[in-house]
Amino acid sequence: MKTIEKIQKKSVVIKFAGDSGDGMQLIGYQFTYNSAYNKNKSLNFPEFPSEIRAPRGTVAGVSSFQLQFGDENVLTPGDEYDVLVVMNAAALKVSLKNLKENGVIIANENGFDLKNLKLAGYESNPLEDGSLENFQLFSVPIEELTIEALKDSPLSKQDKERCKNMFTLGFVCWLFNRTPDNIVEFINSTFSKKPEIRDANLKALMAGYNYGETSESILIQYEVPPAKLGKGTFRGIMGNHAMALGLVTASQKANLPLVYCSYPITPATDILKYLSTYLNFGVKTFQAEDEIAAMCAAIGASYGGALAVTGTSGPGMALKTESLNLAVMLELPVVLINVQRGGPSTGLPTKMEQSDLLFAMYGRPGDSPVPVLAPSTPSDCFYIAFEACKIATSFMTPVIVLSDSYLANGAEGWKFPKLEELPEIKHKQLSSSQKIDNYYSYLRDENMVRWWAIPGNPFTIHRIGGLEKNPETGNVSYFPEDHQRMTEIRKKKIQNIAKQIPLQTTENNINEGDVLLIGWGSTYGVIETVARDLNEKGYKVGHVHLRYIHPFPSNLQDIIKKFRKVIIPELNTGQLVKLIRDQFLVDAIPFNKVQGIPIKHQELLNFVLTQLK
């Protein structure tokens, strides 16, 4: 019996890479959920080819999934990998540059034949020419072993080869000394109606696990201790799924039917897909013929009294703008979720970016202010979706939520909230029979919020439209004074939201000092880890992460004044930095990256250190 060396690690970064048809995303997510099952914290970063059918074996066709899992300090998917799993030569070519020295390579040697080497641009086989001597190389004939394990299966050879991802997953589970029980449950559930495929995947999974157990060439295992998660029910959650659950929950708390109107577009489509499975909660989903129709349908649903939501990405935001501006004028609650991606135009449809902030703030004709919110982690998508619905219905306004592809496709462990722990959603909707004397559609409360009158009530008959109106009656008005007053009312109403949202706090309880790092969206993890590292070095570095971007929390300026310098890292060419400079007259310093990938810990750390000198 072989002797296994157990290597203890507080956290591990692993990357799965292969062709877009090799199932790397599937096993990446399953290993993420397996990490949650084993009580590890985790964050991941999936990468997809921009081409739908990139040529197999080429560097353009590589699909990958990066994951960091470990203790409570895991806040990013990691900069460099401890373990790299590659299914072919192209995957190695693309990924090797970020593997740590002496890191582990698990290579499917069947993906390094002459054809694959040529397509990847290798003149010799890196598994054999000594170029990988600075790494721990495990060359495994994964395809060959998978087919051998499935020799009794009735599946075709091609279908048997497709099970190689499960062989790989089983082997990786063994490498980290963890059982694949939850993956077995997933396979049984997913393929319950296809027993031949179910059995083949189960056999391949266990063949990979047993290969690690019996192979004489693999004599190490890694052990990562569980994180201290506290009490509660935990589950793995992706950002788009969390967003969908947040919308359903808001619908239940507001006692309003949820209507989601959308046109499929990467990477927002999964929200539509997930919501379509919640019909038992009265959710209605409408797949429109285009973005304009989706936005208009959402406005119609809101006018009829529903909790109306629409979602899009990239160029879809531009197409929705005219109708969004109508919703501003009508003062109807609609939530618009923009899952940002690289732009402009079609841009980088499968890559991440934060470049739509100024568009969300100002990309409409006329003075038409709209609240803008942004989640910071995949699980925070749940709470931001809930909050967006609460603000939209409480203040009778459209609300923009800025997610991005990193958050949408990323997954992490999430402590499942109880319904009674969430606040009630109070709104201004009048029932179809509720009587109000001397009703006008633009009667307002102290926050400048009008009533939400549902069609069919004889006591609340009113005119509504895109033309300017008299502030009291709502009748069409071309008087200059009325336009001035209505413009000021619409602005003041959005400003009043700042009275209802929480005061801003620093993430790390550093409230004054050398540098304040201000971020928003998916930059949360890297900013927080950089701030922690610098504070451990003796600097005083605070971290503010904005979930409410318009309006800003009312005390944000007070926090900014207590730091010598302000640095704003963003995945754009400098958008939040413009807003902060404009509103608070502070000489904020930008740190910008637009490569379709996250900011690395080391590059931000080095930049902040130069500003601390």
Average pLDDT over residues 587-609: 97
The DSSP code for 154 is -
Distance separating alpha carbons of residues 585 and 311, to the nearest angstrom: 34
Average pLDDT over residues 297-319: 96
Please write the tens of the pLDDT for every residue from 230-285.
Answer: 788 888 899 999 999 999 999 999 999 999 999 999 999 999 999 999 999 999 99
pLDDT at 1: 64
Residue with tokens 């969908």: 244
Distance separating alpha carbons of residues 47 and 27, to the nearest angstrom: 13
pLDDT at 233: 82
Please write the tens of the pLDDT for every residue from 523-566.
Answer: 999 999 999 999 999 999 999 999 999 999 999 999 999 999 99
Distance separating alpha carbons of residues 587 and 565, to the nearest angstrom: 8
Amino acid at 245: L
Q: Which of 2-6, 65-69, 392-396 has the lowest mean pLDDT?
A: 2-6
Residue 311 pairs in a beta bridge with 262, 337
Token digits for 110? 């069947």
pLDDT at 460: 86
Angle between helices 239-254 and 380-395 (to 10 degrees): 40
pLDDT > 80? residue 299: yes
Q: How many CA atoms lie within 13 A of 444 on its CB side?
A: 19
Average pLDDT over residues 19-34: 94
Give the residue from 26, 76, 33 showing the smallest Cα distance to 48: 26
pLDDT at 219: 84
Please write the tens of the pLDDT for every residue from 185-227.
Answer: 999 999 999 999 999 999 999 999 999 999 988 888 999 998 8
**pLDDT confidence tier of residue 439, bands split at 50, 70 and 90:** confident
**pLDDT confidence tier of residue 431, bands split at 50, 70 and 90:** confident
Decide if 314 contacts 265 (C-beta within 8 A): yes
pLDDT at 230: 77
Q: Which domains are seen in the chain, by residue range?
A: 5-223 (3.40.920.10), 236-421 (3.40.50.970), 513-612 (3.40.50.920)
pTM for the model stands at 0.94
pLDDT at 415: 86
Residue 497 pairs in a beta bridge with none
3-state secondary structure of 308: strand
Residue with tokens 């600097």: 539
pLDDT > 90? residue 434: no
User: Mean pLDDT score of the chain, rounded to an integer?
Assistant: 94
Distance separating alpha carbons of residues 86 and 166, to the nearest angstrom: 14
Residue 412 pairs in a beta bridge with 237
Q: State CA 411 to chain mean position distance.
A: 8
Please write the tens of the pLDDT for every residue from 34-89.
Answer: 998 888 999 999 998 877 777 889 999 999 999 999 987 899 999 999 999 999 99
Distance separating alpha carbons of residues 51 and 60, to the nearest angstrom: 8
Helices marked H in 192-238 — which ranges? 195-214
Residue 64 pairs in a beta bridge with 17, 47
